[in-house]
Chain A
Amino acid sequence: MTALDAGTAPDLADAIEAWRVWRVVPGTGGHQLRSVVKPTLWPRDAPLVAECLLGGSLRRRLWRRSPGHDSPSAPCDCGIYGADLGLLGQYLTPPPMEPTLARVLGRVLLWGTVVECERGYRASHAYPAAIYVPSDAACDGGRLEELACGLAGYGVPIELLTERCLEAPSAVARLVGANL
C-alpha cells in the first residue's frame, strides 16, 4: 500500500478542523453559504458531500476520461477544501460586482475521505463549525446582525468581529489561540 492509498479501517474517529471562506447568498428560509470558487451551496442541517466539478488542465481532463471517480481523489484537485487560517486573507475581499451579500470566514469540519495536502485538506464530507463575520463583510452595507441572523439555520456559533476583512484571519487566530 502506498502512502496515498486509503485504507479500509478509519484512521481518525474525530472530524478534522480547518478553515475556509464562504460567500453568503440569499436562500429560502435564511441566508446560505456558498463556496467561493465553485457555485456550490452548503446545505443546512446536512453535510455537504463532495463531487468532482473540475475541468481545465490536460491532466485533469485525462483523469476525468475515466468513469466518474469518488471525490476527493489524490490525482485530481477535487473535494471540499479546508486550509490553514493564514491562507484565507486573499479570499475575503470579493471582486467588484459579485452578487454576494458578504464574505465570511470560519472553521469547517472535514470527514469521510480526507486528502491531507501541504497547507490544507480536501474532503468528501464537510459542515461549518463556526462562522466569523468581519466588520466590513456586508457587501451592500447591510447590517451585520441581520447577516448573522440569516445564517442561524446552520446551528453553529456566529461571531461578529470588530476587525475588518484584512485583519480578520489574525483576529480569529488570536480568538481561538491558533497560529497563522
Chain B
Amino acid sequence: MEIGKPKRIYRVEPLREPVPARREAQPEPAPQAPAEPKTVPAR
C-alpha cells in the first residue's frame, strides 16, 4: 500500500496483548442420573 513517507516512530506497548483469548472447549456437563422415584410407604 502506498502510505507515504515516514513521519515518526512510536513505541506502542499495550498493557494487555490485543489478541482475543483462545476459546478453550468447555467440557460437556456430566449427564445427570434420573431422579429416583420417591416411594411413599403404604399406610
Q: Which A residues fall within an 8 A CB radius of B?
A: 3-16, 20, 37, 45-47, 74, 81, 83, 87, 91, 109-123, 127, 129, 154-156
Contacts and interface: CB of A to CB of B under 8 A. Distances in A.
B1 A120 contact: yes
Q: What does DSSP make chain B's interface, helix, strand, loop or mixed?
A: loop
A170 B18 CA distance: 26
A46 B4 CA distance: 28
A156 to B, nearest CB: 6
B14 A74 contact: no
Given A120-B3, A127-B18, A11 B10 contact: yes
Interface of B: 1-15, 17-23
**8 A-B pairs with least C-beta separation:** A118-B4, A155-B20, A120-B3, A10-B13, A111-B12, A117-B3, A6-B9, A11-B10
B19 A113 contact: no
Contact of B10 (A12, A81, A83): A12
B11 A11 contact: yes
A14 B37 CA distance: 59
Contact of A13 (B13, B19, B23): B13
Contacts of A155: 20-23
A154 to B, nearest CB: 7
Contacts of A37: 1
10 contacts: A6-B9, A15-B18, A16-B12, A45-B22, A87-B1, A87-B3, A114-B9, A120-B4, A154-B20, A155-B20
